[in-house]
């Protein structure tokens, strides 16, 4: 047991716990209203929105998994860099329109918008269910980051004693989220990001000095991990896999409910546009984090006998904790591990709030209590957020970890299928509501079947086009099929003059920045 690291870890964790409860008094509002509890009153400015979206999108699993992928598989892990560059121009153009129409009509979720735009309860329900399904394993995977750092400090793994710290962490998370709503992760995100930036900057300065410089670090990595392997004849190999992973992930990222929640909590569409220009700073940070994978190779942590048991249990996911344990004094290890754990709690809190908003607005109120009061709506959202958190906790405690990781591969595949209704719906209503629903069904089935055919071990499916094999991220391939089905069926439904329903919005709603 590394008591020094653990003590520092506990002190920092206690600090953010207090901060989470105090956050409910920041920019005080009536937390009995879902706008105040679930969207922080839609009053978050550019500064806090930047930290919230950063804490929302750059998670503990990113801190652990990106360098782990570089450590284990090499250069393919750097697909995360172009995808986080591609996504922000996309956000700059698209999501101010969503903010404006949501602000005008009081929409809380993407499903609210779809219901108002297309007048289709089944289509809105499809978007709701997709958001919840895609987010649950994402929340569960935040626990992987916490489990790994707890193990690195010497806390026993497995059994009730090993799971108890994780349970305590999530009880604390549940308590301050229930009490303070979105304000809690918004305030904590500032501390989390400062810790992570400090940790990463220290790592990229100190570790290369210890290892003899970046030249020696790159020289220690085999060539096969420094560049993408040349594809064999008749295949685009890792080239198309890399490109489609980047593009497909960019389309999916801001469709997740927690991303939409972060956007809709902003005080203005201008705050969203500013953040689209500022958030690439996190891409720079992500590039530095990815380099930790090469540093772990150079340090030889995978062959150190003291870490053998951890690598056997956690695989490459233990690369970063092992690197810090091998390089830094215990007090700094405690700071770094606290940064990773807090980096898990912030997105987990936002994700649970976002899925609770979806359940309450688009299932409970829509199908069970259409006449429920605003207070009842908020109370149900709070309870739903607790269920989501502890459902994710049970997911990771009672199922083998490998299944959680494999199911996460489906997250991007599933959420991508909502793009036609949500993103294209912001610009046009020409796509028929029935065609959008059928296209969604086809996309979900095809995308899931692609990943299932690979035994859920990968999300890159080998497409055969004539005599050429094109490995492609299943999310992108299934989205193309979804769009094709939607366009063809829209033409057929229009021929049959199928009813389109009433559009609650006007073009002006998407353009006005309502004060």
Element (H, E) at 80: helix 80-105
Alpha-carbon gap, residue 108 to 111, rounded angstroms: 8
Alpha-carbon gap, residue 474 to 458, rounded angstroms: 9
Domain boundaries, the chain: 3-428
Element (H, E) at 147: helix 121-152
pLDDT digits (tens, 9 = 90+) for 66-75: 898 899 888 9
Range 173-202 average pLDDT: 86
Contact 437, 120 (CB under 8 A): yes
Contact 353, 331 (CB under 8 A): no
Query: 3-class SS at 461?
Result: strand
- Does residue 511 register a pLDDT over 90? no
For 337-402, list the strands marked E by DSSP.
Answer: none
pLDDT digits (tens, 9 = 90+) for 106-152: 999 999 999 999 999 999 999 999 999 888 877 777 777 788 888 88
Alpha-carbon gap, residue 350 to 472, rounded angstroms: 30
CB atoms within 10 A of CB 391: 14
Which residue from 332, 339, 389, 380 is spatially nearest to 359, judged by alpha carbons? 380
CB atoms within 10 A of CB 469: 16
Contact 250, 90 (CB under 8 A): yes
For residue 267 the two structure tokens come to: 């005080």
Alpha-carbon gap, residue 364 to 96, rounded angstroms: 28
**Signed CA dihedral, 21, 26, 28, 34: sign only:** negative
User: Is the model's pTM score more than 0.85?
Assistant: yes
Q: What pLDDT does 397 receive?
A: 63
Lowest-pLDDT range, 30-44, 242-256, 309-323, 349-363? 30-44
Which residue from 343, 338, 337 is spatially nearest to 320, judged by alpha carbons? 337
- Does residue 317 register a pLDDT over 70? yes
* CATH topology classification for 3-428: Sodium/glucose cotransporter (1.20.1730)
CB atoms within 10 A of CB 48: 22
Alpha-carbon gap, residue 369 to 62, rounded angstroms: 39
pLDDT digits (tens, 9 = 90+) for 209-246: 999 999 999 999 998 899 988 888 888 888 999 999 99
Element (H, E) at 324: helix 319-327
């Amino acid at each position: 047991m590394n008591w020094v690291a653990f003590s520092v870890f506990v002190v920092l964790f206690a600090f953010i716990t207090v901060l989470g409860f105090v956050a409910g008094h920041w920019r005080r509002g009536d937390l009995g209203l879902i706008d105040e509890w679930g969207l922080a009153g839609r009053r978050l400015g550019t500064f806090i929105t930047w930290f919230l979206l950063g804490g929302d999108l750059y998670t503990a699993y990113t801190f652990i998994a990106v360098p782990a992928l570089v450590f284990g598989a090499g250069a393919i892990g750097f697909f995360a860099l172009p995808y986080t560059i591609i996504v922000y121009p996309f956000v700059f153009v698209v999501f101010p329109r969503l903010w404006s129409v949501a602000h005008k009509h009081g929409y809380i979720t993407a499903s609210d918008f779809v219901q108002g735009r297309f007048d289709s309860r089944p289509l809105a329900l499809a978007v709701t269910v997709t958001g919840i399904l895609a987010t649950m394993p994402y929340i569960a995977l935040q626990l992987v980051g916490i489990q790994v750092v707890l193990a690195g400090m010497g806390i026993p793994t497995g059994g009730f004693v090993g799971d108890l710290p994780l349970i305590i962490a999530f009880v604390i998370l549940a308590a301050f989220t229930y009490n303070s709503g979105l304000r809690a992760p918004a305030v904590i995100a500032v501390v989390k990001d400062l810790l992570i930036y400090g940790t990463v900057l220290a790592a990229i300065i100190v570790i290369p000095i210890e290892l003899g410089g970046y030249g020696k670090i790159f020289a220690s990595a085999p060539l096969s991990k420094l560049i993408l392997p040349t594809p064999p004849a008749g295949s685009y190999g890792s080239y198309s896999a890399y490109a489609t992973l980047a593009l497909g992930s960019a389309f999916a990222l801001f469709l997740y409910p927690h991303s939409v929640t972060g956007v809709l909590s902003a005080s203005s569409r201008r705050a969203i546009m500013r953040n689209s220009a500022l958030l690439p700073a996190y891409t720079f940070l992500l590039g530095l984090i990815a380099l930790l994978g090469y540093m772990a190779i150079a340090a030889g942590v995978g062959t150190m006998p003291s870490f053998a048991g951890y690598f056997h249990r956690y695989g490459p996911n233990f690369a970063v904790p092992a690197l810090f344990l091998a390089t830094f004094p215990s007090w700094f290890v405690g700071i770094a591990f606290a940064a990773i754990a807090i980096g898990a709690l912030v997105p987990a809190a936002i994700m649970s709030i976002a899925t609770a908003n979806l359940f309450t607005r688009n299932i409970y109120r829509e199908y069970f209590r259409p006449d429920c009061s605003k207070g009842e709506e908020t109370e149900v959202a709070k309870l739903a957020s607790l269920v989501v958190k502890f459902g994710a906790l049970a997911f990771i405690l009672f199922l083998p970890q490998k299944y959680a990781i494999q199911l996460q591969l489906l997250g991007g595949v599933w959420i991508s299928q909502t793009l036609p209704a949500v993103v294209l719906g912001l610009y046009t209503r020409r796509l028929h509501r029935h065609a959008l629903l059928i296209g969604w069904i086809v996309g979900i089935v095809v995308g899931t079947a692609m990943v299932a055919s690979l035994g859920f071990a990968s999300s890159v499916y080998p497409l055969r086009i004539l005599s050429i094999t094109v490995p492609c991220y299943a999310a992108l391939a299934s989205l193309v099929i979804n769009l094709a089905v939607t366009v063809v069926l829209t033409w057929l439904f229009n021929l049959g003059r199928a009813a389109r329903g009433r559009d609650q919005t006007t073009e002006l709603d998407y353009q006005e920045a309502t004060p």
